[in-house]
């Protein structure tokens, strides 16, 4: 069964990752710095609602903060945020909640959710609809318990966008292969030029050789005639 957890280390290092002050992070997120510090110090348990607010304010994908099997993601400053023209706001799918839980066939009973979350029977429904404060650890624990992906409800459409951006910004296998082919092509062109130059030199030497050979034959022929004439005399 998949286990989901909150990437607390990334959350606590936001200032370092984004290279901006905690005060500026709080300002962008519409929080006081004191409240943000209390979240980061775990004096207050972060809620799903506040996490969505922070992600949307900073344009950070939610999947950076929600880890599967403790495979935490620690983006660098360049990849931590998404450009405004590519950003998709983080949303909550209340319809998916109603289709997943309830009394209908194939759904998970709210009373079972309450038992798993160790809360009263009325609280899970209100929390999953975000009508009440929903602690992130309770949300991820419930998803882990019932083997449900958190992203069934926490809608983050930025993953594919970041993959496309990554392919554009980072050398891919195809790019590396293309570069290798270009290098080999340049090498072949150089060797071809050298070969053609050798052919031209060979032809020139052959022409010179033939010329010298003809001159030698002419000279040898004349020399033979002169010797024959002298003998006759």
Give the integer Cα–Cα distance in Å for 12 and 36: 10
Q: What is the pLDDT of residue 212?
A: 84
Q: What is the pLDDT of residue 155?
A: 97
Give the integer Cα–Cα distance in Å for 146 and 153: 14
- State the sign of the Cα–Cα–Cα–Cα dihedral 94, 152, 50, 125: positive
Task: Give the Å distances, CA to CA, from 143 to 1, 32, 86, 136, 193.
Answer: 10, 30, 29, 11, 66
Other CB atoms closer than 10 Å to residue 161's CB: what's the count?
A: 16
Per-residue pLDDT of the chain (233 residues), as tens digits, is 569 999 999 999 999 999 999 999 999 999 999 999 999 999 999 999 999 999 999 999 999 999 999 899 899 989 999 999 999 999 999 999 999 999 988 999 999 999 999 999 999 999 999 999 999 999 999 999 999 999 999 999 998 655 444 433 444 445 445 555 655 565 666 667 667 777 788 788 888 888 888 877 777 776 666 666 666 65
What burial letters (b/e) apply to 137-157, b meaning 16+ CB within 10 Å?
Answer: ebbbbbbbbeebebbebbebe
Give the integer Cα–Cα distance in Å for 166 and 175: 13
Q: What is the pLDDT of residue 176?
A: 45
Strands (E), 42-129: 66-68, 91-92
Enter the pTM of the model.
Answer: 0.68
Q: What is the pLDDT of residue 2?
A: 63
Q: What is the pLDDT of residue 220?
A: 74
């Amino acid at each position: 069964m998949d286990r989901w957890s909150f990437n607390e280390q990334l959350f606590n290092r936001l200032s370092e990752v984004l290279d901006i002050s905690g005060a500026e992070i709080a300002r962008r997120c519409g929080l006081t710095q004191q409240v943000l510090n209390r979240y980061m110090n775990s004096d207050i348990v972060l809620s799903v609602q506040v996490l969505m607010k922070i992600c949307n304010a900073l344009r950070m994908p939610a999947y950076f903060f929600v880890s599967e099997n403790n495979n935490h993601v620690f983006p660098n400053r360049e990849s931590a945020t998404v450009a405004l023209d590519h950003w998709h706001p983080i949303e909550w799918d209340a319809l998916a909640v109603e289709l997943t839980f309830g009394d209908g066939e194939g759904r998970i009973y709210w009373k079972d959710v309450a038992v798993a979350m160790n809360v009263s029977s009325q609280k899970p429904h209100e929390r999953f609809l975000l009508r009440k404060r929903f602690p992130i650890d309770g949300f991820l624990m419930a998803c882990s318990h019932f083997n449900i992906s958190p992203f069934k409800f926490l809608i983050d459409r930025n993953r594919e966008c970041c993959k496309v951006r990554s392919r554009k910004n980072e050398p891919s296998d195809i790019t590396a292969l293309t570069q290798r082919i270009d290098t080999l092509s340049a090498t072949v062109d150089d060797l071809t030029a050298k070969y053609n130059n050798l052919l031209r030199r060979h032809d020139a030497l052959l022409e010179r050789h033939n010329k010298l050979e003809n001159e030698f034959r002419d000279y040898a022929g004349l020399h033979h005639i002169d010797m024959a004439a002298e003998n006759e005399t």
